[in-house]
Amino acid sequence: MVPRTAIRGRTVLLLTVVCAAGVLTGCRSLADAASASGCAGTESRVGELTSYGVLGSRPRGAVVPRGFEDPEAGCWEDSGEAWLYAERTYVSPGGKAEVTRYYRAAAEREGWQPSQATRQSSKSGRPANLCFTRGGTDDATVLDVYFLTAEILDAEDSEAGPEFGSGTGYRVSVTSAADGSAGSCSE
Is a pLDDT exceeding 60 seen at residue 74? Answer: yes
What value does the mean pLDDT take over residues 26-55?
A: 73
The pLDDT tens digits of the residues spanning 2-36 come to: 444 443 333 333 333 333 334 344 444 433 443 35
pLDDT of 140 higher than 60: yes
**Tens digits of per-residue pLDDT, 147-162?**
998 888 889 888 877 7
Q: Does residue 130 have a pLDDT over 70?
A: yes
pLDDT band at 165; cut points 50, 70, 90: confident
- Reduced to 3 states, what is the DSSP secondary structure of residue 164? helix
More confident residue, 135 or 77: 77
Identify the pLDDT of residue 126. Answer: 66
Cα 168–Cα 86–Cα 49 angle in degrees, nearest 5: 130
Residue 92: is it exposed, middle or buried by C-beta count within 10 angstroms (0-12/13-18/19+)? buried
pLDDT at position 187 is 60
Predicted pLDDT at 42: 92
DSSP-derived letter for residue 148 is: -
